[in-house]
Amino acid sequence: MHIHILGICGTFMGGIAALAKASDHQVTGCDSNVYPPMSTQLEAQGIELIEGFSPSQISLNPDIYVIGNVVTRGNPLMEEILNQGLPYISGPQWLAENILQGQWVLAVAGTHGKTTTSSMLAWMLEYAGLAPGFLIGGVPQNFGISARLPGAPKQDSNSISPFFVIEADEYDTAFFDKRSKFVHYHPRTAVLNNLEFDHADIFADITAIETQFHHLIRTVPQVGLIVANSKEISLQRVIERGCWTPVELFGADSADVKGWQLSAADADGSFDVSFNQQLQGRVTWNLMGEHNRMNAIAAIAAARHVGVATTVAIEALSKFENVKRRMEVRGIVNNISVYDDFAHHPTAIRTTLAGLRAKVGKHRILAVLEPRSNTMKLGVMKNVLPQSLTEADLVFCYGANLGWDAAETLDSIKDKATVYDNLSVMVEAIAKVAQPTDQILVMSNGGFGGVHELLLKKLNEQSA
């Protein structure tokens, strides 16, 4: 089959392209931003990429067009597809029908931590010899790729693994299908990490998101398992709407609550894991923050459901290398560390800073923030932004292209926060105040104009 993917350079659609190519389909695609690294990754797989959405692409005559959710009505190629009555399908639906059909799908949903938890879970299954397939919205460093088909399990090299781990996004599917992507995946194991208001561009309120999560719950079979964060009242409301599947809770503070629990972390980040008050083992690793410990026990619970012993899952975590752009150290100059992190929602910003603070103690943290997500650009969460930055000693906010005044929003912490609309000026300011032992934490869900490289270059110039 020849498929032509509209919006191919996004992480999700690029992953679909890789899976389709590995399944021996002919794959071509187009996007308005065909540039590295996604372009080079796809071209290396023999996937032809076209810049833009010219209607002339119908001359490729594919069997079907796979439509990413960046494509809207008015897109010239999409309009031609509609005008000519050509066959098209959304990315999630194509994935469900052509890759996930017949698989034991393990889906990780939630406002935060989907990528990290999915990566942990895929690695646990891999470490246990189960050779899972996966599609993750990032690059797990244990694998070096964001998507692959299931392989041959160690214990049966003549078969193909039935397991597929997928990051289950609540964002809408396509312009013609406004359900959340995850409704298409039909998981047998579903992780509900957390649920907060986000995606203000498509959801009116948290109730609307809860409705989509309940649609997901409706698709999990009775023989499946739902792994849910016990601390999230929003998830309790979702489950109370109706649930036909066993539920295992994780993260409860009370010893009276059954399910998965974790101890506080030691100074080195290690912590104990318990299930129904029975100690299962101790995780020793390099990750920081309670959010990552919660991600870990959620993944352990999901892995156990497919037969991975908890002791094996815990051992796998000791060799987990996290995901690119999740507290990734991009460089160290003159004992000044520059980190890259995907945090873009106030809760993620707060937990990421708290994790770094726990690691570095009294060393200064310089938070560099780009409010880039649709929710942040709309200003829906702006009022809680100052308190999410409490652990930072200095805050540098890039306020260009916002629909609200970042300086006004951060006025309550103006003694430590400065807003810039010029990236070069901001880089100069950061480099000027940076001192040895400082931790510069860059947070954005985009490329941020290559600010990490600009900072490292400027710091190198100053230390020369």
- pLDDT, residue 326, reads 72
**Domain-located, residue 452:** yes
Please check whether residue 224 is in contact with residue 143, taking contact to mean a CB–CB distance below 8 angstroms: no
- pLDDT, residue 255, reads 63
Query: What is the pLDDT averaged over residues 198-220?
Result: 88
DSSP H or E run through 355: helix 346-360
Residue at a domain's end among 259, 293, 317: 317
C-alpha span between 370 and 391 (Å, rounded): 17
Please check whether residue 167 is in contact with residue 178, taking contact to mean a CB–CB distance below 8 angstroms: no
Query: What is the pLDDT averaged over residues 245-259?
Result: 83
Where is average pLDDT lowest: 225-229, 245-249, 347-351, 407-411?
A: 347-351
Does residue 106 share a domain with residue 86?
Answer: no
Does residue 133 share a domain with residue 21?
Answer: no
The yes-or-no verdict on residue 379 having pLDDT over 90 is no
Residue at a domain's end among 286, 317, 348: 317
Mean residue pLDDT across the chain: 90
**Residue 345 pLDDT level (bands cut at 50, 70, 90):** confident
Does residue 364 share a domain with residue 342?
Answer: yes
Please check whether residue 50 is in contact with residue 108, taking contact to mean a CB–CB distance below 8 angstroms: no
**Domain of 183: which CATH number?**
3.40.1190.10
Does residue 193 share a domain with residue 159?
Answer: yes
The yes-or-no verdict on residue 144 having pLDDT over 70 is yes
**Domain of 53: which CATH number?**
3.40.50.720
Give the tokens for residue 37: 């690294």
Where is average pLDDT lowest: 99-108, 174-183, 352-361, 430-439?
A: 352-361
**Domain-located, residue 96:** no
Does residue 148 share a domain with residue 79?
Answer: no
437 or 344: whose pLDDT is higher? Answer: 437
Does residue 237 share a domain with residue 291?
Answer: yes
Give the tokens for residue 311: 């002791």
- The reported pTM is 0.79
C-alpha span between 89 and 4 (Å, rounded): 11
**Domain-located, residue 202:** yes
Does residue 369 share a domain with residue 269?
Answer: no
Query: What is the pLDDT averaged over residues 405-423?
Result: 89
Measure the CA dihedral 194/196/201/205, to 10°: 130
3-state secondary structure of 298: helix
- CB 111: neighbour CB atoms within 10 A? 20
**Domain-located, residue 323:** no
Length reported for the chain: 464
Q: For residue 273, what are the β-bridge partners?
A: 262, 281
Does residue 266 share a domain with residue 214?
Answer: yes
Does residue 298 share a domain with residue 153?
Answer: yes
Does residue 417 share a domain with residue 387?
Answer: yes
3-state secondary structure of 454: helix
The yes-or-no verdict on residue 139 having pLDDT over 70 is yes
Domain total of the chain? 3
Please check whether residue 211 is in contact with residue 126, taking contact to mean a CB–CB distance below 8 angstroms: no
**Domain-located, residue 97:** no
Does residue 135 share a domain with residue 245?
Answer: yes
**Domain-located, residue 272:** yes
- pLDDT, residue 375, reads 65
**Domain-located, residue 322:** no
Domain that holds residue 440: 328-463
Torsional class of 233: left (φ above 0), alpha (ψ -120 to 50), beta (otherwise): alpha
**Domain-located, residue 134:** yes
- Shortest CA distance to 53 belongs to which of 73, 25, 26? 73
Does residue 293 share a domain with residue 156?
Answer: yes
- pLDDT, residue 29, reads 95
- pLDDT, residue 324, reads 67
Give tens-digit pLDDT for 300-321: 999 999 999 999 999 999 999 8
C-alpha span between 260 and 262 (Å, rounded): 7
Residue at a domain's end among 91, 110, 137: 91
Give tens-digit pLDDT for 8-44: 988 899 999 999 999 999 999 999 977 666 777 788 8
Q: For residue 419, what are the β-bridge partners?
A: 397
**Domain of 348: which CATH number?**
3.90.190.20
